[in-house]
Amino acid sequence: MRIRDALKGELSYIQEQRINAYKEYAQVLPEGHWNALKQAIVSDTDTQAGVERLVAELDGKVVGSAVLFPAKTDAYDGLIDELDYPEIRMLAVTPEARGKGVAAALISECIQRAKSKGFRSIGLHTGEFMKNAIHLYEQFGFERLPQFDFQPAADGIIVRAYRLSFK
């Protein structure tokens, strides 16, 4: 597996891949929440200055992606305050590549990049319905920060905040 910076020309492909990776939730979420999630994963917030778009390749094919937002960036279109540490966003793995360590490799790369810039922690937000993702984040040692939770669609579904502190 190879983790690398995404190429500029890959953005629309990555956005389409995100929708395909997340569309399993369209069946379990209220329509308004699914639409808010879909809008968030294809928004242009990841084109801001300083944002790093990463992809994972298996056998030369892009099978996953993640975005690393720098600290003090509006990563959530004003839904939460700017945080003092980088944030992982829009982690997506194609259904065919799940279970092969793609998500873990992307998370690890984001952690290494944050550490190399001198940060002592990294954060992320994930929907409370994303049970597999939550389990993976907790395996990495991410801890809940409910004070930074938010509701993107005002429907009672919480997007949970997590942070991993480094030694």
Q: For the chain, where are the E strands, in sequence order?
A: 2-5, 52-58, 61-69, 87-93, 121-127, 143-144, 159-165
Assess contact for 114 and 86: CB atoms under 8 A: yes
Number of neighbouring beta carbons within 10 Å of residue 32: 13
Write the pLDDT tens digit of every residue in 72-117: 876 555 556 667 899 999 999 999 999 999 999 999 999 999 999 9
- CATH code reported for the domain at 2-165: 3.40.630.30
Domain range annotation of the chain: 2-165
Higher pLDDT, 151 or 7: 7
Task: Provide the pLDDT confidence category of residue 124 given band limits of 50, 70 and 90.
Answer: very high
